[in-house]
Amino acid sequence: MKREAKLSTRNSSLSAPRSPLRDFLRALWAIVWKDLSAEWRSRELLTAMLIFSLLVILIFNFALELDARARASVTAGVLWVTFAFAGTLGLNRSMATEKDRGCLNGLLLAPVDRSAIYFGKAIGNLIFMFTVELIVLPVYSVLYNINLFRPGLLLVILLGSIGYVAVGTLLSTMAVQARTRDILLPILLFPLIVPVMIAAVKASGGFLQGLPWIEVSTWINLLIVYDVIFVAVAFMFFDYVVEE
């Protein structure tokens, strides 16, 4: 009964005049949902990213002697290096599963716009990244007795992750199609995201030290500019990168 009802609503939505935007959003959501439910069943990617992040913080703890004085100046740097490293793990894995099991070809055969595939994968990656960040922040806060949940810092993390994932999704699609794929992604990605890293570290540091908005806003603006440019460019080039 329930199923029939569902089918009939679907049929009615098919027969109704279709708006392109609605179709696009549905395709987008289907791809994001596919990634999320696959991850929910295996939990491979998130577990790996999380444990890796905690290990990186642990290593920093010994490497930098994170005492109270050092923490004030290096916390922002430690956080962003951790996110960047964990991010490459996630990006590589998310694209490699698509490539290895031939899912990418299946996706390309689907009658949806290629940009829906790009944005779907990018949003999936972004959700994984946010999840890791939302777990790392409280753990770091507890371990080092510092409150990281400040609106400014969360804004920086949002903007920085968008820029990182926008470029990262495009480059990981390229990297998985190369022979040297696992080592290729960080080499391709890190030189291009230098502006994101600098701006994010500076802005995070500024918010953590309680600097006035006027001193941080330059970095925030830079992050916004980077996000806008690279989301647009990556979306334009995605077609060329998946073409067979």
Partner 1 sequence: MESKPRFLSILDTITAILFVAAVGMVFFYTPLERTMGQVQKVFYFHVATAWVGMLGFMVAAVVGILYLVKNERKYDIAGLAAIEISLVFFFIAIIMGSIWARPVWNTWWTWDPRLTTATIVELIYAAYMMLRQGIEDPDRRARFGAVYAILGFLSVPLTFISIRLLRTIHPVVVGNSDPSAEGSFSMTGPMKTTFFFSLFTFSVLFVDLFWHRVRIGKLAAKVEELRLKISV
Residue 28 or 174: the one with the smaller Cβ distance to partner 1 is 174
Contacts of 151 (CB under 8 A, 6+ apart): none
> Least distance from C-beta 106 to partner 1, angstroms?
19
> Least distance from C-beta 46 to partner 1, angstroms?
28
Residue 78 or 196: the one with the smaller Cβ distance to partner 1 is 196
Distance CA 96, CA 139 (A): 29
Q: Which residue has the tokens 């570290």?
A: 201
> Least distance from C-beta 145 to partner 1, angstroms?
30
Residue 149 or 237: the one with the smaller Cβ distance to partner 1 is 237
> H or E stretch including 14?
helix 2-15
Q: Which residue has the tokens 């999320």?
A: 36
**CB hemisphere CA count around 75 (13 angstroms):** 24
> Least distance from C-beta 202 to partner 1, angstroms?
8
Contacts of 23 (CB under 8 A, 6+ apart): 112
Residue 41 or 179: the one with the smaller Cβ distance to partner 1 is 179
Distance CA 244, CA 242 (A): 6
> Least distance from C-beta 222 to partner 1, angstroms?
6
Quick one: CA dihedral 78, 83, 86, 89, positive or negative?
A: negative
Q: Where on the chain is the footprint of partner 1 (CB under 8 A)?
A: 167, 170-171, 174, 177-181, 184, 187-188, 190-192, 194-195, 198-199, 202, 218-219, 222, 225-226, 229-230, 233, 237, 240-241, 243
Residue 53 or 169: the one with the smaller Cβ distance to partner 1 is 169
